[in-house]
Each structure stands twice: as C-alpha cells, then as structure tokens.
Amino acid sequence: MHVLVATDGTLDTTLAATMVARLAGDTGRVTVFTAVEVPRQILSDLRSASSPDADPADAGVAYRREQAGDAAAGHWVGDDAFIAQYVDRVVASRTAALVAELKAAGVDVIATGVEGESAARSVLEAVSEHKPDLLCVGTHGLGRFEGLLGSLSTKLARLAPCPVLLLR
C-alpha cells in the first residue's frame, strides 16, 4: 500500500508513524509531503524599495539600494534559487522527525514538498501525481481560519480522490 502523509510539521510523529507503518505494511511505501507558502509579494516590495523613485523616508530603502547595487528593480538574479533553498529547508524541517520514525520502523519512505499558495490545492496535486492508496492528514494544523472557513483536513476529506485518514 502506498500512503501519502500530508503534514505542516505539527503531526504527532509517534502516533502518525505507528499508524502509517501499520497501514503501509512490510511491502508498502510512504510519501511524506508538505506545502510551503512563500510570500512572494515581499520580493516585489523589496525590489520596489530599491527603485529610483522609492521614498527615501521608508525604512530600509537605503539598505536595499546598497544591497541591490546597480541591479534593476524587478530583475534580481537568484530570487528563484533563494526561494528553492528556503522551501528545501522548510520541507526538511517539517518532515524530518516523521521520516526518521518511519525509517526506524523499517518503512520505505521519501519526503517531498512544494511551494504553493494553497495547501489544499498543493496536497490534491500531490495526490494526483503520486497516486497513493490512502491520504493521511492531521486534524489540527497551522491554519489560521480553522472552524471559520473550514479546515484543510475537511477540504481534503471532501475533495481527495482516494480514502482519507484523519489523525488527531
């Protein structure tokens, strides 16, 4: 059985690893997945602070101009590489404990993640790509509007094309 575990790093790793290892079995595999939200607007804001018409009274404009040198606003080389490194670090930090427990239990496991603006959309795309037999997701995460607009786990339970196990 192939199990995809979607996490934002707040899952109880012992509970999740125990449950998922049992479900995956000796011949199964597990994909631990996370979606990382990157506020790309901040890059535009930083670039605009370095533009010639930026208001020098704004905090940080002088520093950003010093850092940008003669680079044209909006064309800083390395934005995507910088963000990719950030996403890699966040994916590793959110998945490391669960991956370690699953490996200790003898489970074939990989960790992966993507940059995405919508966690639900990112998880559903991962389910579509990896085609797991089961999606596991926690019921309490980092969402700010849980209960007000509906939680990620509720959306995934309604929209996932495979069975969903909610972990509390």
pLDDT for the residue 152: 87
Tens-digit pLDDT profile for residues 125-157: 999 999 999 999 988 755 544 444 348 889 999
Rounded to whole angstroms, how far apart are CA atoms 53 and 70?
A: 14
Rounded to whole angstroms, how far apart are CA atoms 133 and 3?
A: 6
- Domains of the chain: residue spans and CATH: 2-38+79-167 (3.40.50.620)
Tens-digit pLDDT profile for residues 1-59: 999 999 999 999 999 999 999 999 999 999 999 999 887 777 666 666 555 665 655 54
Rounded to whole angstroms, how far apart are CA atoms 32 and 78?
A: 28
Tens-digit pLDDT profile for residues 44-96: 666 665 556 656 555 455 555 565 555 544 545 567 788 889 999 999 999 99
